[in-house]
Structure 1
Amino acid sequence: MRGPFASRERVAALDALRGIAVAGIALMNVYIYALPPAAYFNPAAAGGEGPLDWIVWGLSFVLVEDKFRSLFAMLFGAGVAILIERASDGGDAHPIRSHVFRMLVLFAIGAAHAVLLANNDVLRLYAMAGLFVPLFLRLDARKLLIAGGILMAIHALAGSVIAYQWLTAEPGSTLALMPAQIFGSDPAALDYARAIGMESFGERLPRRIYGFGAALETQIPGIPSALGTMLVGAALWRNGLLKGEWPRARCIALAWKMALIALPPLVALMALDWGAGFTGAMVGPVALFWSLPFDLMLGVGYAALAMAFFAERDSALRRVLAAAGRLSLTNYLLSSVVFALLFYSWGLVLFGTLSRSGALATALIPIALMMAWSQPWLARFRQGPFEWLWRGLARGRFGPILR
């Protein structure tokens, strides 16, 4: 076990975990660029051209979809706890005010990202949910876990009310058509999605600016679950797991426990989608409400497994992942730039031309880039360009970026 943690010490294993998270997010975000939006959740909507595509969907649903996003949110919550601890230790008289500024700047970066590149941007959601994290940081690790669980349960229960309305709606009604258009295989909705997938940058920019408010409204219901996930991350920091203080055997035991709890329900939910014929009224609730608690559990398992292998031993792999993790914001945005250049009309125009498995293969491009460039960059610079921009704007002053 490691010794007592110094508040300003970097935990290499925690940085490596961030690298894993940002790479894992790319494995699912590729579908937002490559296929109509409904296909992100629903293989019957588009991209399911053969058995391999359905296998890719099944494995992604159980092992990838929202697991790495949950992991990213957990690490975000842990990061908030770390920064506020450091601010307090460093004599900052207004740590909460500094935190609010950081969240406002992050929201602005996310807003630009959403308008210019990825309308599914999570930075806006993290900024909104992150505003509330300090309200809970007086709690100990156990109470943070309980608070996170309660918030996730509220999200799942409230979503179940919506799911009941969708599943029992009269055929042809607005309430029945909405999930079919968003999550299902509605032909008109898919034709519209294909049309906007091929639009020019000049067409896309005003449309996304005009629709920014409506897109943001769809994220607001996700604040409780995102906040709950962040509180779990703060708890795992407080209890020592993310500090690398747990023995390897304890980490592996937690990973097994989370997998045994989460995997059977996730497989059952996958079967539920399949049995319902991938109707939007079933796919939506499964993806947005019912799978999230188990996604979070598996994310905790992934975190424990990574800490088991990276906390106590240095390796070339840990150094590569840790460098990518230290530049996680820049690498997240870099992935969007790469995907835009691959799939949008101002790039290689691959939108709608690849199957699900083919699209997944292209996700290896930004992952390889982030693993290749992060170490050389950090050898010369203190932080990534967008990390430097975020911190500088939040502080109102820019520190040196060169080493």
Structure 2
Amino acid sequence: METFAQPKSQQRPPPNQRIIEFDALRGVAVIGVVWMSVYAFALPAQGYHNPSVWGPGLGEASRLDRIIWAVNFVFIEDKFRTLFAMLFGAGCLILLERDGERKKGHPVRAHYARMAVLFAIGAVHSILFASNDVLRVFALAGCALPLLTVLSARSLFAICVGFIAVHVGGGVVALGASVLDYYQGRPGSDASLLAERLFGSNPASVQYMLDQGREGWEERIARSLTGLRSQLSVIGSAIPINLAAMALGMGLWKSELLQGKWRLFLLQRCAAICALAAVPALLGLAWWVSDNGFPASIAGMVGLVLSAPFDTALGLAYAALAMAFFRKEGALRERLAAVGRLSLTNYLLTSVILAAIFASWGMGLFGEVSRAQGFAISFVPIAAMLIWSTLWARFAGQGPFERLWRSMTKLLS
């Protein structure tokens, strides 16, 4: 990839040194995830993809709520989860390559130990705080990554496209019937009723999720433990799209974009092309949902399935743009890099803070805020990350959960 690289005089020193742009990009990903995670903590589940389900009064969404939904849908939702998964894939590739070079133990065995520990951390996290935990999906999808390490960047990009196709195809099979029933005027069909329960304003379903969100600590733990089997299907359905992002991240590392070696104009061109491919399509999908009055069948199909290719493209645009922007030294880059170095700890800390705000054992604001208010509250954990990460990284280095992850991995491998 010499045509993509910077002049030799500007290239980085040895690969065993940290790349600050990579750390800062990971920090951006962790912060971006908060902007959508807040709705999983603040609103009934049906309101996550459908702004008409919940709002400031009797479930009615305000115009501001709908605008914020549109901005989130086009620019935030799943873009930063994609970015987070991309960097996870690249990080796994880096560790597999380094373990192989050091020839200490078996690199694949160490990798699977990392995934086992990460799954355990994610399981505890989901039981105590966050039903929308992504660590378990990352851990399971990560088990396939050693098989991809021998592939070229071009092959990894092809794998990414293939997994996106699997995700979209599976989603169309699962949810397509409800869209057809909507246009054929069959609101009472099984598919339509299921979509209404999952993504619509069905009173009984919304009330069930409100009761669940307001449950006490002991009730939550008991429900989470008894529902582990049902959660596996949800986790399994998320593996293809996350594997797509991880393969993309591995390809971007091998092509040296994430190593900070691409020339500035190539980064800008990549960001522009991806954004031009993604943003108009996402705006069109947002208009389709809104123009039809936010029907449950279309909201679910658009939010979970049809937006996926464009979410990935815009996530790539963000990665290229950030790698260009973070070349310049500055306080913002340093703070974001500190957030990125503590990404696991910050991800978990966000759930603790949001649970303390919305859970019944905390301030109990679940179901009491609008989408706009939830978005404003999301800046509380973001501010906490930006403040504490720099101090912790400066005086203690590795984050507490990063240290735990590393220590437990050593024990297992």
Q: Does the alignment reach a TM-score above 0.5?
A: yes
- 1:210 maps to 226
2:74 maps to 1:62:
yes
- 2:297 maps to 281
| TM-score normalised according to structure 2 size | 0.93
Residue-by-residue CA offset, 1:35-74 (whole Å, 9 max, x unaligned): 1011111101112632211111110000000000000000
Moved runs in structure 1, 4+ residues, more than 4 A?
none
- 1:8 maps to 16
Residue-by-residue CA offset, 1:80-117 (whole Å, 9 max, x unaligned): 11101111111134111111110011001000111100
1:3-402 aligned within 5 A: 3=11, 6-47=14-55, 49-169=61-181, 171-311=187-327, 313-396=328-411
What number of residue pairs does the alignment pair up? 397
Tell me if structure 1 keeps the 8 A contact 2:25–2:340: yes
How many Å apart are 1:122 and its aligned residue?
0.4
Tell me if structure 2 keeps the 8 A contact 1:155–1:225: yes
Residue identity matched to 2:218: G
SS in 1 for 2:127: helix
| Structure 1 CA distance for aligned equivalents of residues 219 and 158 of structure 2 | 46
TM-align CA RMSD: 1.4
SS in 2 for 1:339: helix
| Structure 2 CA distance for aligned equivalents of residues 52 and 275 of structure 1 | 16
| Structure 2 CA distance for aligned equivalents of residues 247 and 347 of structure 1 | 49
| Structure 1 CA distance for aligned equivalents of residues 120 and 141 of structure 2 | 14
With 230-239 and 178-187 compared, the bigger mean Cα shift is at 178-187
Tell me if structure 1 keeps the 8 A contact 2:200–2:296: yes
| Structure 2 CA distance for aligned equivalents of residues 185 and 38 of structure 1 | 7
| TM-score normalised according to structure 1 size | 0.96
Tell me if structure 2 keeps the 8 A contact 1:149–1:228: yes
How many Å apart are 1:8 and its aligned residue?
1.3
| Structure 2 CA distance for aligned equivalents of residues 361 and 253 of structure 1 | 33
How many Å apart are 1:5 and its aligned residue?
5.5
Tell me if structure 1 keeps the 8 A contact 2:42–2:365: yes
Residue-by-residue CA offset, 1:330-381 (whole Å, 9 max, x unaligned): 0000000000000110111111111111110000000000000011111121
Residue identity matched to 2:353: V
How many Å apart are 1:329 and its aligned residue?
0.4
Residue-by-residue CA offset, 1:205-248 (whole Å, 9 max, x unaligned): 10111112212211201211110110000011111110000111
SS in 2 for 1:206: helix
Tell me if structure 2 keeps the 8 A contact 1:185–1:279: no
Percent identity (aligned): 44
| Structure 2 CA distance for aligned equivalents of residues 82 and 166 of structure 1 | 43
How many Å apart are 1:295 and its aligned residue?
0.3
How many Å apart are 1:168 and its aligned residue?
3.5
Which runs of 5 or more structure 1 residues have no equivalent in the other structure?
399-403
Tell me if structure 2 keeps the 8 A contact 1:7–1:86: no
Residue identity matched to 1:167: V
Residue identity matched to 1:12: I
Change (3 A) 1:5 1:103: farther
Residue identity matched to 1:372: I
- 2:3 maps to none
SS in 2 for 1:168: helix
Which runs of 5 or more structure 2 residues have no equivalent in the other structure?
1-5
How many Å apart are 1:388 and its aligned residue?
0.6
Residue identity matched to 1:320: R
With 88-97 and 263-272 compared, the bigger mean Cα shift is at 88-97
| Structure 1 CA distance for aligned equivalents of residues 193 and 231 of structure 2 | 19
- 1:401 maps to none
How many Å apart are 1:284 and its aligned residue?
1.2
